[in-house]
């Protein structure tokens, strides 16, 4: 008899991370209707909405709906494939697609926040991820705003807000990523690996939602780079502290750390080899 192991290893995918990032950002946002929280295409400007981008948004929505339908169909027919339930994008109505527009228009201005502003965001209140608005066509073929990030209350009569929190699953994903990264051969041997983990988790809690889906669909690489930078930072700090300790030990006539002794022996060996090579060249 086989049993299910609750402690079985779980593996994170970009698809799962993207879903949790989306759900977490929704907790900081407000929408006219719950279904408007899902977008079909990301654009940098409202003026970019045209025939081509509308068609692309329809394709994306048709694919997303087809994938959802496939999951439901496979519950009763495990052999079903995407081609069996695929929805024609031409059947998706123009009024059904939602565009995410990356903009600071609804974020309050904060002059002087930075001495030398480098981009538009530096002129506005600091937010924990790139702000956006959701837009769609109404029955009169007019674009209307149906959602705003960092917002509370009605889309039109509400107010700017920074209240919200990431989903528990995304937080657990961060913990899993840090734990697995710390088990790599080049990190697990350090006695201060716990401090590395703490620093990495702190960093992820601060920048975790700054991942911009309009620029990349690979949050795994983004988070791994942040973890590596945190680990390296703690390593450099500890190395600097160790050098100071070793210098103080040498001054009082005590033996420094084994690492310092090994480095000194390696330097002396290299110097002897260099001198021997010079003598050989002279002959």
65's tokens:
């709906």
Write down the pLDDT at residue 281. 64
Write down the pLDDT at residue 148. 95
Residues 132-159: pLDDT tens digits? 999 999 999 999 999 999 999 999 899 9
Write down the pLDDT at residue 251. 75
Domain regions of the chain by residue span: 28-160, 168-252
Query: What are the residues whose beta carbons fall under 8 Å from the beta carbon of 190, sequence distance 6 or more?
Result: 196, 235, 238
What burial letters (b/e) apply to 172-200, b meaning 16+ CB within 10 Å?
A: ebbeebbeebbeeeebeeeeebebbbebb
Write down the pLDDT at residue 3. 45
Write down the pLDDT at residue 7. 45
The reported pTM is 0.81
Of 131, 89, 142, 74, give the one whose Cα is nearest residue 107.
131
Write down the pLDDT at residue 82. 85
pLDDT along the chain (283 residues), means of 10: 47 88 95 94 93 95 90 87 87 93 93 84 91 94 94 92 93 94 88 92 94 91 95 90 75 71 71 73 60
Residues 84-119: pLDDT tens digits? 888 898 999 999 999 999 999 999 998 888 888 888
């Amino acid at each position: 008899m086989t049993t299910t192991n609750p402690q079985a290893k779980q593996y994170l995918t970009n698809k799962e991370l993207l879903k949790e990032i989306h759900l977490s950002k929704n907790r900081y946002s407000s929408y006219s209707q719950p279904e408007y929280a899902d977008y079909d295409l990301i654009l940098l400007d409202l003026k970019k909405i045209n025939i081509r981008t509308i068609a692309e948004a329809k394709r994306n929505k048709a694919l997303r709906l087809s994938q959802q339908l496939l999951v439901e169909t496979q519950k009763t027919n495990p052999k079903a494939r995407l081609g069996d339930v695929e929805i024609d994008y031409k059947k998706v109505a123009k009024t059904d697609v939602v565009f995410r527009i990356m903009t600071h228009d609804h974020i309050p201005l904060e002059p002087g926040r930075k001495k030398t502003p480098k981009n538009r965001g530096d002129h506005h209140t600091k937010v924990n991820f790139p702000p956006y608005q959701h837009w769609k066509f109404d029955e009169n073929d007019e674009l209307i705003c149906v959602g705003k990030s960092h917002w509370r209350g009605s889309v039109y009569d509400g107010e700017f807000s920074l209240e919200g929190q990431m989903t528990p699953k995304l937080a657990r994903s961060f913990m899993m990523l840090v734990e697995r990264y710390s088990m790599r051969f080049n990190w697990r041997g350090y006695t201060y690996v716990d401090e590395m983990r703490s620093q990495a988790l702190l960093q992820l809690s601060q920048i975790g939602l700054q991942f911009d889906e309009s620029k990349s669909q690979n949050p795994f690489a983004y988070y791994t780079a942040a973890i590596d930078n945190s680990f390296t930072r703690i390593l450099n700090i500890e190395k600097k502290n160790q050098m100071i300790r070793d210098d103080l030990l040498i001054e009082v006539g005590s033996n420094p750390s084994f690492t310092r002794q090994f480095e000194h022996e390696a330097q002396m060996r290299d110097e002897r080899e260099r001198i021997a090579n010079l003598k050989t060249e002279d002959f």
